[in-house]
Amino acid sequence: MEIRKPNDSEYKKVLSLSPQALFDGTLGEAKPSDEKVKQLIEPLLQKGGYYLIATEGDNLMGWILIGTSKDQFTENIYGFIYELFVLEEFRGNGISKLLMETGIEHLKQDGYSEVRLSVYAGNQALKLYEKLGFKNRTITMSIPI
């Protein structure tokens, strides 16, 4: 398995699969259109964010989208993991962990001393993030009215 930046055709494949990634990541709450995905991702890439993909041969197995964000209170800039996704047929093989470790290492090399991410309560990836050392920083709560 190789983890690297995608070429143009791989990038297009990632973009085409991103609506499913967001659907899974939000536990079925969001199913954005291809256009909406583009609107969400293009500004991140323009600000220096980038994808790392996991491949074996010609098979795209998953990806991570990393970049930066700014703390709304302190204005400190930190590394941010915007998206992590492994295609269903490749899940359970440790690919998410390898993508996370590689993404964190890239952010460290890019000069960040902290990495944050957001995750839906109930998302299976939460266990992985905790194993990697991530801690709750803020909790968003809601109530239907």
pLDDT tens-digit readout, 101-136: 999 999 999 999 999 999 988 888 999 999 999 999
Phi-psi region at 63: left, alpha or beta (left = phi > 0; alpha = psi -120 to 50): beta
pLDDT value at residue 27: 64
Domain map (residue ranges) of the chain: 2-131
Q: What is the pTM of this model?
A: 0.89
Strand duo 50-56 + 2-4: pairing: antiparallel
Q: Which CATH superfamily is domain 2-131 in?
A: Gcn5-related N-acetyltransferase (GNAT) (3.40.630.30)
The three state secondary structure string of 13-28 is HHHHHHHHHHHHHCCC
- Give me the residues of the chain with pLDDT under 50, please: none
Cα distance between the two ends of the chain = 47
